[in-house]
Amino acid sequence: MSTLPELAGLADAEAHARAALAIVEDPSTTPSTARVHISAGWQALERAADDDRADAVDRNALRRETQRLFAAVRSAQSEHGETPARDGRRRLARFAGLAAVIVVPAVTALALTMPPFREGPWRAAFFATKDRTGPAIVRRDGDVRYNWAGGRPMAGYPKDRFSVQWDTCLVLPESLEVAFRLTSDDGARLLIDGERAVDNWGLHGSRTRGERVALDAGVHHLRVLYFDEHQDASIALTASFYGERPEAIPARLLRYPGATLDADDPCGAVHGVRE
């Protein structure tokens, strides 16, 4: 069976397709900005098409998935009064055509189960070490919710002994007692304004820990720390604000903290300097 590095081009294509969909579904973004991900996804598929390991095909599965994703992109763009440029349409058509002829069954399974990459209000820093040391790849995520199973978090990273740090700024319109839940394999922690709020650290399989935290109205810095030791790797942060079932924190309550990892006040630029 092909190993994950061999499938990186197709995994990247799937990630860009989902990022494009996330952008046009988000009412706070301009749908036309999805085109950069459409273009990058098309290029990733072109690279994968050049790989002579992609001979065995399952034409229909990824074709349906790709067409579904980009049909949703086009539909959402139309709802916002925007449609792709003519060049974008040609690339979409070529994208779908390439998808129909290059996907091995293992790639199909990977693409359809891979967690969605969504460009959003979380700053994610990925480290190829267990203790968040060394260089990091920094990107924007829409949510802290991943299930890498026994695979790599991204191309070029190890399957085991990697770590991630997510940061965002939570803006509350009123004082609330919020119930946070953190599920992870292996260890994870949630820090709020620098204080430990939920502790699920250590070596363990998938496990959930939760806490209720009283928060004042205003801006609060959220940080999630995660590491994987070996085998399966997963993490999910959910919250309940008004007693509802815990779900992903709504994007409308979150603000991107900027690209600087070690800022003294990560949320200082959100609505001015935090009080």
- Read off the CATH number of the domain in which 155 is found: 3.90.182.10
Indicate if 90 and 174 belong to the same structural domain: no
Indicate if 139 and 185 belong to the same structural domain: yes
More confident residue, 213 or 11: 213
Dihedral (CA of 75, 77, 83, 84) sign? negative
Indicate if 9 and 65 belong to the same structural domain: yes
| Within a domain: 260 | no
Helix locations, the chain, DSSP H: 8-25, 35-49, 59-79, 86-102, 105-113
What is the share, in percent, of the chain residues with pLDDT greater than 90? 49
Among 56, 88, 113, give the residue marking a domain's end: 113
Q: How confident is the model at residue 272 (pLDDT cuts 50, 70, 90)?
A: low
Indicate if 127 and 251 belong to the same structural domain: yes
| Within a domain: 268 | no
Q: What is the DSSP letter of 200?
A: E
| Within a domain: 262 | no
Indicate if 28 and 150 belong to the same structural domain: no
Indicate if 246 and 129 belong to the same structural domain: yes
What would the pLDDT profile of 50-63 be if each residue is shown by its tens digit? 444 444 444 445 55
How many Cβ atoms sit within 10 Å of the Cβ of residue 241?
17
Indicate if 133 and 250 belong to the same structural domain: yes
| Within a domain: 203 | yes
Indicate if 16 and 73 belong to the same structural domain: yes
Domains in the chain, number = 2
Indicate if 10 and 89 belong to the same structural domain: yes
* Residue 185: pLDDT over 70: yes
Q: Dihedrals φ, ψ of 104, to 5°?
A: -80, 155
* Residue 35: pLDDT over 80: no
| Within a domain: 100 | yes
| Within a domain: 194 | yes
Q: What is the mean pLDDT of the chain?
A: 77
Which pLDDT does position 270 carry in this prediction?
Answer: 86
Closest of 204, 126, 115 to residue 165, by C-alpha: 126
Domain hosting 243: range is 122-255
